[in-house]
Chains A and B, each alone.
Chain A
Amino acid sequence: NAGVTQTPKFRVLKTGQSMTLLCAQDMNHEYMYWYRQDPGMGLRLIHYSVGEGTTAKGEVPDGYNVSRLKKQNFLLGLESAAPSQTSVYFCASGSGGRGANVLTFGAGSRLTVL
C-alpha cells in the first residue's frame, strides 16, 4: 500500500522556469493538500481540495496553481519559479467529512530555485 506518493523528490530550477509537482494517493481520500515547509515557519497551506474537480486557496497561494482532475491526483504548478519558492513541499490526503480528517503525508519534495 503506497499511501501518498510525491514526484519528483528533488528538483533544481532556474528563476522563471516552470514545473509541476505530482501527488498521488491510493486511499480513496476525498481531501488533498499541498503545504510548504520552511525553517521557523512550520507548515503553511498553499492550496487544498475537498473533492475531484474542486480547489481552494490556503494561506500562501500566490505563485502556485493546482488541479484535481482525478480523485487520486493533486498537481501543484509553478508557472514562473522564484527563489522565494525554494522550500520542501508536502502533499497530504485525508478522508475529510464529519469524522476525523487525519492526514497521511507524502515523503516531501525538495525544490531549489536559483
Chain B
Amino acid sequence: ELKVEQNPLFLSMQEGKNYTIYCNYSTTSDRLYWYRQDPGKSLESLFVLLSNGAVKQEGRLMASLDTKARLSTLHITAAVHDLSATYFCAVDVNYGGSQGNLIFGKGTKLSVKP
C-alpha cells in the first residue's frame, strides 16, 4: 500500500529564514509532485520530479528527489509572506495493477510572519 508522509505538518517561519519540508513515501516510484493550496482555494501544481536526483527551482522554492531514500524535500529560502499556504507532496504508481493510483501527503501548513 502506498503511503506518503510529510513533516512537519505545521510550520511557522519568520520572513527571511530558511526551512525544509520533507516528504517520505513507502513504495517504489520515480514520480513525485508538489502542489500548493491557498486557503479556500483549489490546488495548483508547483513541481514535477521524474527521476532520481531531480532538482527543480522556482523563485524561493527548490524541490529535490532521492528515489533510493524515497524522500523528497521542498526547501524554502528567505521566506516571504506570500509563501504562506499549504504545501502537498504526492506520489503516483505508474506500473502494474495500481497504475494511476496517486496519493497525497497530509500537507504542510506554512505561515510566514514578519
**Which A positions have Cβ atoms within 8 angstroms of B?**
31, 33, 35, 40-45, 48-50, 56, 58-59, 90, 92, 94, 96, 98-108
B18 contacts the other chain (CB 8 A): no
Q: Which of B43-51, B58-66, B72-80 contacts A (4 or more CB under 8 A)?
A: B43-51
B100 adjacent to A48 (CB under 8 Å): yes
Per-residue CB contact flags for chain B residues 1-20 toward chain A (1 = under 8 Å, else 0) read 00000100100000000000
A42 adjacent to B106 (CB under 8 Å): yes
A33 cross-chain contacts in B, Cβ below 8 A: 102
Indicate the size class of the contact surface on chain B: 20 to 34
A58 adjacent to B101 (CB under 8 Å): yes
Number of A-B pairs, beta carbon distance below 8 Å: 65
B103 adjacent to A103 (CB under 8 Å): no
Which residues of B59-114 have CB atoms within 8 Å of chain A's CB atoms? 88, 90, 92, 94, 99-107
Q: Tell me, in angstroms, the Cα distance from A58 to B3 when the chains sit together.
A: 12
A44 cross-chain contacts in B, Cβ below 8 A: 104
B51 to chain A minimum Cβ distance, whole angstroms, is 11
Q: Which of B101, B105, B106 contacts A56 (CB 8 A)?
A: B101
B102 cross-chain contacts in A, Cβ below 8 A: 31, 33, 45, 48, 94, 101, 103
B100 adjacent to A50 (CB under 8 Å): yes
A105 cross-chain contacts in B, Cβ below 8 A: 42-44
A98 adjacent to B94 (CB under 8 Å): yes
A61 to chain B minimum Cβ distance, whole angstroms, is 12
